[in-house]
């Protein structure tokens, strides 16, 4: 069986957003880039991740708020103006570029996460998503 390197499957094109951004902006980025998660980063330190904003988080919130009858358009506008920090997951689970593929796979499965930041020491060097893991696993 071939050894799968996290460095070989991660994307170096990190899609991120600052903590002051609004949910509407984040939703637009998710749709534009066809991704499941955006890293929410500090304005002063691009290596410091404050959270991860995902399509799952957004859909969960939309279901909860839009399942109630009433002013849906107004509610959508209100949600779009929320700060991403209101909906993002604050627990960030990351891996090292030197970690084994099995560790990454277990984290994604057990923790139910879609977007995993990859570090080389203290430097953010990439991101891996569920689709990247599946693509790598079935290329063997």
Asked if residue 65 is part of any domain, the answer here is: yes
Q: Do residues 22 and 84 lie in contact, with contact meaning Cβ atoms separated by under 8 Å?
A: yes
Q: Kindly give the residue spans of alpha helices, DSSP state H, lying in the chain.
A: 6-9, 23-33, 55-66, 72-80, 101-111, 130-137
pLDDT higher than threshold 90 for residue 70:
no
Reported as a pLDDT band with limits 50, 70 and 90, residue 1 is very low
Percent of the chain with pLDDT over 90: 57
Q: CB-hemisphere CA count at 13 Å for 86?
A: 15
How many domains in the chain? Answer: 1
- What one-character DSSP code corresponds to residue 108? H
- The predicted model gives 124-133 an average pLDDT of 91
Q: What is the pLDDT of residues 12-31, one digit of tens each?
A: 999 999 999 999 999 999 99
Q: For residue 5, give the 3-state DSSP assignment.
A: strand
Mean pLDDT, the chain, rounded, equals 88
pTM, to two decimals: 0.86
Q: How far apart are CA 133 and CA 10, in angstroms?
A: 9
Asked if residue 1 is part of any domain, the answer here is: no
Residue 46 domain boundaries: 6-137
Q: How far apart are CA 32 and CA 96, in angstroms?
A: 28
CATH number at residue 100: 3.10.580.10
Q: How far apart are CA 20 and CA 42, in angstroms?
A: 9
């Amino acid at each position: 069986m071939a050894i799968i390197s996290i460095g070989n499957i991660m994307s170096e094109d990190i899609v991120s957003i600052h903590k002051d951004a609004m949910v509407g902006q984040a939703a637009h980025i998710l749709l534009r880039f066809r991704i499941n998660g955006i890293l929410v980063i500090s304005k002063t330190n691009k290596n410091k991740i404050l959270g991860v904003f995902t399509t799952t988080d957004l859909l969960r919130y939309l279901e909860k708020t839009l399942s109630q009858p009433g002013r849906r358009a107004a509610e959508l506008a209100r949600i779009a103006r929320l700060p991403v920090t209101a909906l993002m997951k604050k627990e960030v689970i990351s891996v090292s570029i030197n970690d084994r593929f099995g560790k990454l796979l277990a984290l994604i499965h057990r923790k139910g996460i879609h977007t995993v930041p990859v570090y080389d020491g203290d430097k953010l060097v990439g991101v891996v998503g569920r689709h990247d893991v599946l693509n790598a696993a079935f290329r063997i």
